[in-house]
Amino acid sequence: MTDFLNDLNEVQRNAVIATTGPVMVLAGAGSGKTRVITYRIAYLIRNEGVSPQNILALTFTNKAAGEMRHRVDTLLHQGSSRGLWIGTFHSIFARILRNSIDLIGYDKNFSIFDSEDSKSLIRQSMAELNISVESVPVNTVQGLISRAKNSFILPSEFHRNASDYNQQKASQIYELYARKLKENNALDFDDLLIKPLELFNAHPEVLQELQETFRYIMIDEYQDTNRAQYLVAKMLGAKHRNIFVVGDDAQSIYSWRGADISNILNFQDDYHDALTFKLVENYRSTGNILKAANNVISCNLRQIKKELISHRNEGEPLTLIEAYNERNEAERVGEQIRNLRLKQGFEFRSFAVFYRTNAQSRVLEDVMRQHKIPYKIFGSVSFYKRKEIKDAVAYLRFILNDRDGESLLRIINFPPRKIGDVSIAKLREFAEDRQISLYEAILHSGEGGFQPRLVNALSSFSAVIETLRKVAVDGTVYEVLTELFTLTSIPLLLQTENTPESLVRYENLQELLSMARDFSDHNPDTGSLGDFLENISLASDYDETQESDNYVSLMTVHAAKGLEFPVVFITGLEERLFPLHCYEPEELEEERRLFYVAMTRAQEKIFLSWAQSRYQYGQQHHCLRSMFIGEIDASIVQTESGNFLSDRQAKEKVASGFSSPSRGYQSKTATSSSAVAGVLPKSSQPAFREGTMVHHAVFGPGVVLDVQGSGAKQKVRITFRNAGEKTLMVQYANLRIQQ
């Protein structure tokens, strides 16, 4: 009866047959965690005689749930999983609520509002409260409410603890929004996680019945659970305590969407008698890849110690690519792909190129197209097809050609100017009557008998266009785009929105600005706006869809989780890029976990690349090599020429002033006792350097970008986490060095 367990290694098998009491399985990358869960379900049903309806298995994606059910059916007989509760947290909790939600004042046929439905209801709530979407963006409100719900923070508590302006306004909206949801007999996605808690607290008998039903509870990717998911699972498993969680704290990379690494780190505090099994036998990667991954993750303080071991040979060393700029970096990635295909026979599908931010894909895409290397973007769309890029490019097209009606319709109400479809229809009529273009109708809107509000909005729009046209006469592409962003405040609006999505869009616009600066710098005499747009048109017309699946995969590291490839390139390994703008130890540790995830996707070979300079925010910046490279044993890292790095080369921080990686940043120049304590002595000014982490009483934490002058007139340009970029006089700034 237990023959099928012979497919498992000893630790996997012991975890599967440990069916009584709480169990935590720490499953390292590539160690077979899904196999352990599915075999355990099969073992419970086949060997322990447990009814499928008494087993609950929770996952994060429908794909994972489907794969789990399929594997169980394969291990047993087809259909043997009938009655088994396998599904995502949202789907299982929705099923529970369908049975009993009437007890807390909802009908059982409640609606589930998607993100757009939720935004619409938030807008209604804001209108009733006289809170304008200009003062607090809808996406910001939605994000704040969502994070509150995921942490099981109800409106009253949120209101009490609201600190800044956005939170105070969002707390008012949250309360009304919650009431409106109930009036609509509707739940949003986050309600599916917190309404079970409300139900269980109000009606313990419902919880008791479910506790009796779910005698065995299994949770996949436990490191990704949020507060609400943690609480529901703990309540459901409280009676029988047969809770079985599988995860890897070293792969916890989603704190920005509510995941709480404390859930897995503190599991044994919740269950003192829990058994812990560590799956460290990796079946994916070579020995050197795992050695590098172990080197890096060992620098984190908040972790459960484990080291992956390989069943394979040592394999090749990691190769370090040191480029002089981002274009050269992309060229050398492309060159390595061509060489490996030629020398070792790899298919294009064998390669994956990872980057930290979506905006980095632009240069890589350009090089892939230029060298006819087929590629596909995963987890996003091609750079030139992203909405914010198409919006900005539409402005540039219209500046050159004011008869481009498609571009005009795209930009006339972006950013919002309250020029709706009805107003545009009236403009069309006016243009047809006068037999003029739509833009000419806008210029003469004062003669059309329109309402003053519309005339003012149209005049404001045309003023932007005319100003940009004047700049375009003698100015560079970079100057035109800079003026566009200044006049419309589009990047600022995205920053103010301050959601993960809006910040990605902001970074993409900054990459477009960098592209424009690069184009202007390299084409000082011939680089017209028309030439720039022609380059974009040729790039955006490139057909990414391949007739086969043989293409290079381009993606962010976040999108790569759960995947594997023979050859992996990890690009942009520079300070403030990867790790990305880390100001707190917790943030730096998550960046390190993200790098660990990137490395453990590789099966055969890893290339690490960084650029000595990179265009950022339209300016060329000197870059510092990522501290993560220096955390890898130098004996397994070689240059492109095949030379191994010395230990000094590998750990050198290029005068960046970093301390021990686990402690974050520290200036090496502050040598007095007061400076070591973090306070700059007034009698002497430390020689600030690029990369020094500082704290300002008003602006908060930041990082020094560059230093200007010396002595009493010394200035530092700093990018602050919450206040953006500032240039300050050192003498008066009262900056504190971050330890």
Q: CA–CA distance from 9 to each of 294, 300, 580 (Å)?
A: 21, 28, 38
Residue whose C-alpha is closest to residue 417's, from 457, 445, 385: 457
Between 529-540 and 500-522, two packed helices, what is the crossing angle to 10 degrees?
130
Active site residue 251: yes
Asked about 671 being catalytic, the answer comes back as: no
Query: Quick count: other Cβ atoms within 10 Å of Cβ 585?
Result: 17
- Residue 34 annotated in ligand binding: yes
The answer to whether 549 is a known catalytic residue is: no
Among 191, 221, 391, 574, which one carries the catalytic annotation? Answer: 221
| H or E segment and range at residue 197 | helix 191-202
Three-class SS state of 311: coil
User: Which one of the listed residues 188, 190, 220, 507 is annotated catalytic?
Assistant: 220
Q: Does the annotation flag 457 for ligand binding? A: no
DSSP code per residue over 21-85: S-EEEEE-TTS-HHHHHHHHHHHHHHTS---GGGEEEEESSHHHHHHHHHHHHHHS-TTTTTT-E
Query: Which residue of the set 397, 601, 614, 689 is catalytic?
Result: 601
The answer to whether 31 is a known ligand-binding residue is yes
Beta strands in 273-313 (DSSP E): 275-279, 281-282, 309-310
Rounded to 10 degrees, the C-alpha dihedral 185/186/190/192 comes to: 70
List the beta bridge partners of residue 62. Answer: none
CB 592 within 8 Å of CB 628: yes
**Residue at 119: amino acid letter:** K
Given the residues 34, 276, 620, 685, select the one marked as catalytic.
34
167 catalytically annotated: no
Distance, in Å, from the CA atom of 653 to the CA atom of 692, rounded to the nearest integer, reads 12
Element (H, E) at 383: none
- Distance, in Å, from the CA atom of 353 to the CA atom of 373, rounded to the nearest integer, reads 13
d(CA 520, CA 513): 10
Catalytic residue from among 251, 499, 571, 666: 251
Task: For residue 220, indicate whether it is catalytic.
Answer: yes
Taking a C-beta distance cutoff of 8 angstroms, is the pair 697, 734 a contact? yes
Helix, strand or coil, per DSSP, at residue 559: helix
Distance of CA 168 to the CA centre of its chain: 26
Question: Is residue 74 a known part of a binding site?
Answer: no
Cis peptide before 415 (omega within 30 of 0): yes
Is 215 among the residues known to form the active site?
no
* 622 within 8 A of 572, measured Cβ to Cβ: no
Q: How far apart are CA 669 and CA 692, in angstroms?
A: 10
Helical segments of 225-355, H only:
227-236, 262-265, 267-270, 287-297, 326-344
Residue 243's beta-bridge partner residues?
217
Which residue positions form the known binding site?
27-34
Which residue positions form the known binding site for ATP?
27-34
Q: Which residues are catalytic?
A: 33-34, 220-221, 251, 601
